[in-house]
Amino acid sequence: MEALIKMIPVIMVFSIPLSAIFGAYYYKIKKLQYDNKQEDADIDALKRQMMYLEAEQERLQTRVQQLEGKAQGYAIPDEQLIREDKEKHYRL
């Protein structure tokens, strides 16, 4: 019993720095996990934006081809594009 009583102060003295070390380690791990989640969310948002821009570019290229066709004297009507332009205009 006396040995146990003598060990209590030693254990308490060394437990404080050990708990600080483990706490700092846990904090760093959680921060890294949070940062990785944020980066993943940013990457997903950029992918969605890239897909939208590629679709928009394709639509504009088709529209330019139609306008060039009209300028040369023949029309290439595309009802789907006209409908999309109207919907987009009214959504704004």
Q: In this predicted model, what pLDDT tens digit does every residue of 2-38 receive, in sequence order?
A: 888 888 888 888 888 889 999 999 999 999 999 888 8
This prediction's pTM: 0.46
Contact 32/38 with Cβ under 8 angstroms? Answer: no
Instruction: Please report, as a single letter, which amino acid is at residue 64.
Output: V
Q: What is the pLDDT of residues 36-50, one digit of tens each?
A: 888 888 888 999 999
Residue 28: inside a domain = yes
The number of folded domains in the chain is 1
CA distances in angstroms from 78 to 32, 58, 86, 89, 90, listed in the order given: 51, 14, 13, 17, 19
Domain span at residue 65 reads: 20-71
SS (H, E, C) 19-30: HHHHHHHHHHHH
Residue 87: inside a domain = no
Residue 50: inside a domain = yes
CA 87, CA 92: separation in Å to the nearest integer?
A: 9
